[in-house]
Amino acid sequence: MVRDAAALEKRGIPTVTLVHDKFVPAARAQAKVLGLPSLQIASVPQPMPWETEEDERRKGSAVIETVVAMLTKPRPPAVEA
């Protein structure tokens, strides 16, 4: 996913990559290796067995808000490393 997002970003197409929270460091490292250390990555909290359906909905809504904000707020042009 990070490789695809980096390719799109290099073509001028804004992206947000969704990654489970445990894999954010690995995704950031891969983005850096691909020359886009500022690639937008949204963390998706890992579901926990004790959480209710409402808990999951709340987390999902927060992730959606984050993605919308990342795609709609101006940001500086990507600088390749």
| Per-position pLDDT tens, the chain of length 81 | 899 999 999 998 999 999 999 999 999 999 999 999 989 999 988 888 898 999 988 988 988 999 999 999 877 665 554
Per-residue model confidence (pLDDT) at position 76: 64
Instruction: Give CA separation, 70 vs 21, 34, 39, 52, in Å.
Output: 17, 20, 11, 27
pTM above threshold 0.95? no
What's the pLDDT score for residue 6? 92
Q: What phi and psi values does residue 15 have, to the nearest 5 degrees?
A: -140, 160
- Taking alpha carbons only, the member of 22, 11, 10 closest to residue 48 is 22
